[in-house]
Each structure stands twice: as C-alpha cells, then as structure tokens.
Amino acid sequence: MLKAAVWLFWKDLSLELRGRELLLPAAVFGLIIAMLYGFAFDGGQQALRPMFPGLLWLGIFFSSFLAVGRAFGVEAEAGQQLLMAPIDRGAIFLAKLALNILLTLVLTAVLTPAFALLLGAPLPRATWLFLWTLVLGVVGFAAAGSAMGALTAQTRLRELLLPALLLPFTSPLLLGAVSATSALYGKSPAQLGSWLWLMAVFDGIFILVPLLLFEYLTEV
C-alpha cells in the first residue's frame, strides 16, 4: 500500500507542478484576504494585532479550501478510473492526504509572514511551539479535507457540499489553533498544552478513521 501511495503522490505532485492549478490560486486568494483585513478594520495595525491569531487561521483555512477541494475533484472529472485500479483504496487516501498536507504547508509558509507583515503582528518568541501549532493545524485540516473530499467527489454539487461539511467538522480544530496561537502571545499561556493536545487528537481521528473507512467513503 505504501509503495502505491508514494507513486500516486508523485503523480499528483508532478501534475500540480506542471499546471499550478491548486496552490497558486489558493495563495493569491489568501493574500487578498490579508489585504482586505487591513482595509476592512479601522484603527490601523495597532487595532489588528490582538486579532492576529484568529485572522491568520481564518485566512489559512479559507484559502486552503481551494487546494483541498480540488485534490479529489481532478479524479472525479476523469471518472472512476483510479478507484477501479487494482490498488489498495487506503493508498489513494494516503496519497491525497500527503499532497494536501504539502500544499497546505507551503500555503501556510507563504501566508503566515504575509499576514504578520500586513497586520503588523510580530511572530511569537516561542518559534518551535508556534511552528508545531501550525503543523498540527495544517495536518488536521488536510486530513479532514481529504476525508470530506472523498465523500463529496462523486456528487454534482461537491464545490458547495465540501465547505458545508468541512466547516462544521473543522470548527474544533479552528478553535484549538486560534486558542493555542493566542496562548503563545501570552493571553493564556497555561492553556497552551491543552489546546495542542486537542489538535493532536483531532489529527489522529481524521487520519485513522478515514484511512480505515476510505473504501466505504468512496462508495457513498
């Protein structure tokens, strides 16, 4: 299964590198969100700094919808050839999950300094904890997006159904990510560990459960 997952991952990654259909639009959309934040709120950067954790994660999540949603959409447009191939269905999920994690990590690496610059918010001093928070948030969102993408891939309204399903399911992760990032800025440092554990548990659930049930998700 692992060998097939690696082959599928490189296939999807090579297609993305040639076409740039997932990452580039998502990155542009995220940067537009950051600029709109700066224009929409009065008071300048001084007023935006306390809201940086929430604005950052909302920007990452909303811009990631474009990349995560298209990962299974490409296969749906081509029909069910991949699902009919003689390979383990779990390999398909692992390949899509790895691609979504990579794309979302790259997107986060672009948007985080851009948001910090445009909103006038210095990054927290606890760099490693901040990076760990970003990774947990990215992995959880990519895992949930991969599961929901598989569930909605064969539906005609997948572009509408995916956000409708993904937003409620990822709300605990979004709460944990915003709260953990706020804790790093000293607002509630004692609660940082609890929020990181919440995010880690969320990640584990949305990786293991879809991996075990992926065959049934693709047949819904």
pLDDT confidence of residue 174 = 94
Q: What is the pLDDT of residue 126?
A: 83
Write down the H helix ranges in the chain: 2-19, 23-40, 44-48, 52-77, 81-84, 89-119, 127-152, 158-184, 192-217
In this structure, the dihedral spanned by the alpha carbons of residues 107, 23, 55 and 62, taken in order and rounded to 10 degrees, is -140
Give me the pLDDT at residue 123, please: 81
Report residue 65 as tokens: 């919808």
The pLDDT score that the predictor gives to residue 175 is: 94
Q: Which two tokens stand for residue 34?
A: 């950051």
Domain ranges of the chain: 2-217
CA–CA gap between residue 179 and residue 35 (Å, rounded)? 23
Phi-psi map region of 122: left, alpha, beta (phi>0 left; psi -120 to 50 alpha): beta
pLDDT digits (tens, 9 = 90+) for 43-82: 555 666 778 888 899 989 988 887 776 666 555 544 455 5
Q: What is the pTM of this model?
A: 0.85
What is the C-alpha to C-alpha distance for residues 153 and 31, in angstroms, rounded to an integer?
A: 27
Going from the C-alpha of 103 to that of each of 29, 124, 126, the distances in angstroms are 14, 24, 25
Written as one letter, the residue type at 93 is F
Q: Which two tokens stand for residue 210?
A: 């879809």
Query: Which residue ranges in the chain fall short of pLDDT 50?
Result: 77-79
The CA distance from 215 to 174, in Å, is: 28
Q: Which residue has the tokens 């690496």?
A: 109
